[in-house]
Amino acid sequence: MNTTQQIEWNGTPCIELCAGGYRAWIAYEIGANVIRFRDEERGMEIFRYREDNNAEHIKQSPEVWGLPTLYLPNRFADGVLKTSDAVYQLPVNEAAPYNNHIHGFLHKRAHTVVEHHADDNCAVLKTQYRYDENDPFFEYLPIRFLAEYTFTLSACGLEHKVRLTNLSDKMMPISVATHTTINTPFVDGGKEEDIRLTVPIGKRCELDERCLPTQRFIDLKLYDLEYKNGTKCPVLQDINNDMYFAEETELEGQSFYGAIVEDTASGKRICYQVSPEYKFWIIWNDRGFNGYFCPEPMTAMIDAPNLELPRETTGYREIRPHDTFEANQRFFTMD
């Protein structure tokens, strides 16, 4: 029986979705973050989760727990954001030697629950956040918009749709990512050394010492090809912002646009499918020994609006007043 219900986890209000053998907890007051996603039948804890965690701890660094959605993601040099009709000065919240603005604000905001319901096919939650003068970030980015998230849980896994609507009279910059935290090990009783990651990548985007693009694209070396051929262990070593153009791979003989994580001992897999709007992958693992790693799909390159490259290369886009941008993802498991 598929269900949705209001629950409280260690003082954090959540909506719990149960369907298709999966369980998901969405902390709508912490950026509508999926702070727990579990395959109950296969015994798989998919996103980074700790039983003894609490809201205050998550709020200190919400980008490294669960499935946080970022707008505007990653780095903007010196906090500058250049759009086609304005230049915005964002706060520099990444210290020297970086001196960048990093990760925006949306993953920290309290969403409103619009509705949640379940039927014989799925369990659904819809949330929204209205960004306007009431948000403390508005002094830096005075562009009103509506963020709407839809979470659908079923036997097909967890689908996550982001919809952004420009409510201002200005052009709205679009760069979206999820700072996806994959738990390690993700199989109950598993070992980190058995985990392998497949990411279908094109050329590498070279970054400088400030983790900003040099605007050079590099052919893949043996290190990079481990992502492509599925031999990369994404933990127990330091992976620091490996950034690539996204390509397709195959899953069960079918074309697949996304990443695959496998526990080689059990054969259990996390399949992470993204829509074509996500044109880049960044892989990061917090130095590799903290029980998680992040395969991060991004719709645009780091610092994209400020680069000299064309938009069809960087993925950066803008939407006009009253226009809408949508992107979606799906997580499911396999043996």
Contacts of 96 by beta carbon, 8 Å cutoff, 6+ apart: none
DSSP-based three-state secondary structure for 193: helix
State which residues form the domain around 206: 3-334
Q: Domain with 194 in it: what CATH number?
A: 2.70.98.10
> What is the rounded CA–CA span in Å between residue 54 and residue 141?
30
Ranges of residues in the chain whose predicted pLDDT is under 50: none
Name the domain count of the chain.
1
- pLDDT tens figures, 255-309: 999 999 999 999 999 999 999 999 999 999 999 999 999 999 999 999 999 999 9
- Of 282, 291, 90, the C-alpha closest to 205 is 282
The structure's pTM equals 0.97
The DSSP element (H or E) to which 222 belongs, if any, is: helix 222-229
Cα–chain-centroid distance for residue 33? Answer: 10
Could you give phi then psi for residue 193, rounded to 5 degrees?
Answer: -70, -10
Helices (H) and strands (E) in the chain, counts: 3, 29
- pLDDT tens figures, 27-71: 999 999 999 999 999 999 999 999 999 889 999 999 999 999 999
